[in-house]
A and B are shown apart, each in its own frame.
Chain A
Amino acid sequence: MKMFARIILPALLLAVGISAIVKASGVPAAQTAPQVVAVKIDNFSFGPQSISISSGTKVTWTNRDDIPHTVVSTEGVFKSRVLDTDESFSFTFDKPGTYPYFCSVHPKMTGQVIVK
C-alpha cells in the first residue's frame, strides 16, 4: 500500500497528466518535437480536409491524384505552384488562427488548417 501511494500512484497520475496535456495540444503522445503533418491530395479532395496543429508545425501536401492541383490560401497567406502527381508543397504555420485554402484549378476542392 505504501509503495502504491508513494511511487506507483504518483507515477500513474504523472503519466495520465502528461498524456492529458499532450492530447490537449493535439500532438500524438509519442512525439514532443516540432513535426510535419501530411495532407494527401487525391480524388479531387484534400485528406484530411480539416487539420488541427500547433503553431510551428510544418504541413506538407502531396498530390497523389492523376491530375495536377494547387494549394492556395483564400487569405493570400500561402500559395503553391502547380503540383503534378507526386509533387509536394510545404508551409510552416507560425501564427495561430484558421487558414481556409482551396485548389485554384478546381475551386470546389477546399480544406482548412486550424493552428492553435
Chain B
Amino acid sequence: MEDAKKNDELLVDHNHDGIDRRGFLKCMAWAGTGTLCVMQGGVLKSFSLSRTLDFDSGAAAGELHFVQISDSHMGFNKPANPDVAATLQAAVAKIKASPVSPEFLLHTGDISHLSKPEEFDAVDQILKDTGKEVFFVPGEHDVLNDDGQQFRDRYGKGSSGAGWRSFDKKGVHFIGLVNVMNLKAGGLGTLGAEQLEWLENDLKARAKSTPIVVYAHIPLWSVYPEWGWGTDDATQALGYLKSFGSVTVLNGHIHQILQKVEGNVTFHTAASTAFPQPAPGSADSPGPMKVPAEELRKVLGITGVNFVRGKEALAIVDSSLA
C-alpha cells in the first residue's frame, strides 16, 4: 500500500497490476460532469473538459477513440421532446466539434421509434454527416412488426443471426449483441442459446489480454428488473468474458447514465439523444420523462471512449448535448 502524494498518483494498487481501480471509480464518478480519465503508465490522469473542449488532445487521445450514441427514437414526437431529429443533429455537431475525432460510432439501438422506413432513413441521413462508419445493434423499437427484418436489411451486413457481430479495431475486440428478440412475457432482455454459443466460440480465439468491448441495447447487468432493465441470460455471457483482463460493456435502453465496475468488467449505460427516463423506481413507470425545455439538452448526451495501449481499463467520458 502506498500513500498518495498528490491526487493524480496511483492511490492503492490492490492487485499489483498498476491499475488503481478505486481511483478509477472516483474518476468515473466525475465523468458525468465532463472529466476525462486516462490511464497512462499505470497512473490515472484526469483532464477536465471545458465547454469548448480545449485540452491537450495528444495526451488524452490514447490509441483508439470512438463514440457511442443511443436511443435516437426517430419518430417520437411527444412533449418530452417534440423534435428528436434536432437533438440527434446536436449530437452529431458535438461529435464533429470534438478535438479528438472518433474512429467510428456505435449506436446501441432504438434507432427508430416505430420501426418505420422513413425513421431509419432520417437517422442514416443525419449520421452520414459525421463521415464515420456506424455499427448498430437493434433496440426493441427497431424490430417491431417484422422480427427485425428491416434492421438486418439495413445494418446487418457482416452480422449473423438476429444481427450480432464482432470486429477488431487497433487490437480491441468489439462484440455487438442483440438482446431484444423473442422477449418472453414477464421477462427481461434475452440473448438466446444460438447467440451465446456464437459468443463462446468467438471469444475462444482471443488472447486473454485482448481488450473486449461488448455493446448491446438492454443492459447486460441487472439495473432494475421491475422495469425490465436487465438481461435474463447475461450471466452466461459474462461467464465467457471472466478470464479477459479488460472488458467494457456499453448499453443503452434506460436513457440515463449509470456505471458499475465489477472485477475486470466496466458496465456503462449511455444517455439517449431523444429523451430522458426516470431513475430506477423513482416514478410509476419507465416512460419518457418531461423536463423544462431549456433543461432537455442537459439530460441527453453522447459517450466518448478512449483506449490507451497497455492500460486495461478504457476511459469513458459522457458529454451532454447542452
Flag if B114 contacts A44 (CB, 8 Å): no
- Bitwise interface map of B from 51 to 80 toward A, beta carbon under 8 Å scored 1, else 0: 000000000000000000000000000111
Query: B115 interface residue, CB < 8 Å from A?
Result: yes
Query: A108 interface residue, CB < 8 Å from B?
Result: yes
Flag if A110 contacts B185 (CB, 8 Å): yes
A76: min CB distance to chain B, Å: 12
The one of A45, A81, A110 in contact with B145, judged by C-beta atoms closer than 8 angstroms, is: A81
Complex formed: what's the CA distance from A85 to B228 in Å?
A: 21
Flag if A65 contacts B183 (CB, 8 Å): no
Flag if B285 contacts A68 (CB, 8 Å): no
Query: B318 interface residue, CB < 8 Å from A?
Result: no
Complex formed: what's the CA distance from A100 to B79 in Å?
A: 33
Count of chain A residues with Cβ under 8 Å from any Cβ of B?
A: 22
Collect the chain A residues with CB atoms within 8 Å of residue B80's CB.
66
Query: B192 interface residue, CB < 8 Å from A?
Result: no
A-B contacts at CB below 8 angstroms, number: 58
Complex formed: what's the CA distance from A34 to B144 in Å?
A: 32
Flag if A43 contacts B287 (CB, 8 Å): yes
- Bitwise interface map of A from 92 to 108 toward B, beta carbon under 8 Å scored 1, else 0: 00000000111011111
Collect the chain A residues with CB atoms within 8 Å of residue B114's CB.
68, 82, 84
Collect the chain B residues with CB atoms within 8 Å of residue A11's CB.
none
Complex formed: what's the CA distance from A94 to B301 in Å?
A: 50
Complex formed: what's the CA distance from A66 to B140 in Å?
A: 16
Collect the chain B residues with CB atoms within 8 Å of residue A101's CB.
185
Collect the chain B residues with CB atoms within 8 Å of residue A81's CB.
144-145
Known: A82-B114, A84-B114. A66 touches B78 (CB 8 A): yes
Flag if B186 contacts A107 (CB, 8 Å): yes
Flag if A108 contacts B141 (CB, 8 Å): no
Flag if A107 contacts B187 (CB, 8 Å): yes
A79 and chain B: residue at smallest CB distance: B145
Count of chain B residues with Cβ under 8 Å from any Cβ of A?
A: 24
Query: A70 interface residue, CB < 8 Å from B?
Result: yes
Query: A74 interface residue, CB < 8 Å from B?
Result: yes
The one of B183, B188, B286, B287 in contact with A104, judged by C-beta atoms closer than 8 angstroms, is: B183
The one of B78, B141, B184, B185 in contact with A105, judged by C-beta atoms closer than 8 angstroms, is: B141
Known: A67-B287, A81-B145. A106 touches B228 (CB 8 A): yes
Collect the chain A residues with CB atoms within 8 Å of residue B78's CB.
66, 85
* Chain B contacts with A in 185-204, Cβ cutoff 8 A: 185-188
A84: min CB distance to chain B, Å: 6
Flag if A66 contacts B288 (CB, 8 Å): yes
- Bitwise interface map of A from 53 to 77 toward B, beta carbon under 8 Å scored 1, else 0: 0000000000001111010001000
A1: min CB distance to chain B, Å: 60
18 additional A-B pairs beyond A43-B284, A66-B79, beta carbons within 8 Å, are: A43-B287, A44-B286, A66-B80, A67-B288, A74-B185, A81-B144, A81-B145, A82-B114, A84-B114, A100-B185, A101-B185, A102-B185, A107-B184, A107-B185, A107-B186, A107-B187, A107-B228, A108-B187
A-B contact pairs, 11 of them (CB 8 A): A43-B287, A65-B287, A66-B78, A66-B80, A68-B141, A82-B114, A104-B183, A106-B228, A107-B183, A107-B228, A108-B188
The residues of A with any CB-CB pair to B shorter than 8 Å are: 43-45, 65-68, 70, 74, 81-82, 84-85, 100-102, 104-108, 110
